[in-house]
Chains A and B, each alone.
Chain A
Amino acid sequence: GDSVTQMEGPVTLSEEAFLTINCTYTATGYPSLFWYVQYPGEGLQLLLKATKADDKGSNKGFEATYRKETTSFHLEKGSVQVSDSAVYFCALLSGGSYIPTFGRGTSLIVHP
């Protein structure tokens, strides 16, 4: 079955540091890939997505590239801010399905 593996957190960084949160997946066919963000005490919201190989999703300074050859969708940001502190979820949706598969989430803590 489909699965998503994320790096364990928490990831603790200083403000303006470079961020990478790793995400790899297992799926049949060619899934769509997503990153969701959950700020403290809130529900999840879509951060970015990519629907086919080599696509790059980007939003709010975050980027992730759909790498079919390595089955990865790593999240990156060049300079994090304290306000980026949140839990980040990688997810996939296989073609023909409407039930996404989520990773366990990675907590990011950014210190001033």
Chain B
Amino acid sequence: GAVVSQHPSWVICKSGTSVKIECRSLDFQATTMFWYRQFPKQSLMLMATSNEGSKATYEQGVEKDKFLINHASLTLSTLTVTSAHPEDSSFYICSASQGRNTGELFFGEGSRLTVL
């Protein structure tokens, strides 16, 4: 099946710094990528939908200036958590779609962010 890779898997940073998480589709072109945040009780929250070459569409309540998303190519989307604070600590997961008709999403391994 298609492979999506996230990097880094783990990151620990100091409060006030910015952290970038990369999401790559390794063997297919992903016109659309999704960024999720997973809370401790396991529910997935869709943060934004990222389309190659255009601005990301953010879900209600997600601060676009806080969570910068860039989808500069068909195989790479990045999420930058700016001026991170301890409450931003979470598990962030990206996923990619091959197109509207498949329905299936391919998920990255996830990135655990801990802000001290």
Name A residues whose Cβ lies closer than 8 Å to a Cβ of B. 32, 34, 36, 38, 41-46, 49, 51, 87, 89, 93, 96-100, 102, 104-105, 107
Contact = CB atoms under 8 A, between A and B. Distances in A.
Contact of B104 (A38, A43, A49, A99): A49
Interface of B: 1, 4, 6, 32, 34, 41-44, 46, 49, 93, 95, 97, 99-100, 103-110, 112
Given A87-B42, A98-B32, A42 B100 contact: no
A100 B103 contact: yes
Q: What's the dominant secondary structure at chain B's contact region?
A: strand
A2 to B, nearest CB: 12
A102 B44 contact: yes
A46 B42 contact: no
B42 A43 contact: no
Contacts of A41: 110, 112
Nearest to A96: B100
Contacts of A42: 109-110
Contacts of A105: 42-44
A51 B41 CA distance: 29
B103 A45 contact: no
A32 B100 CA distance: 12
Contacts of B4: 43
21 contacts: A41-B112, A42-B109, A42-B110, A43-B93, A43-B107, A43-B110, A44-B93, A44-B107, A46-B1, A46-B104, A46-B105, A46-B106, A98-B99, A98-B100, A99-B34, A102-B44, A104-B41, A104-B43, A105-B42, A105-B43, A105-B44
A107 B42 CA distance: 8
Nearest to A31: B103
A104 B42 contact: yes
A12 to B, nearest CB: 15
A46 B6 CA distance: 17
Nearest to B34: A99
Contacts of B42: 38, 87, 104-105, 107
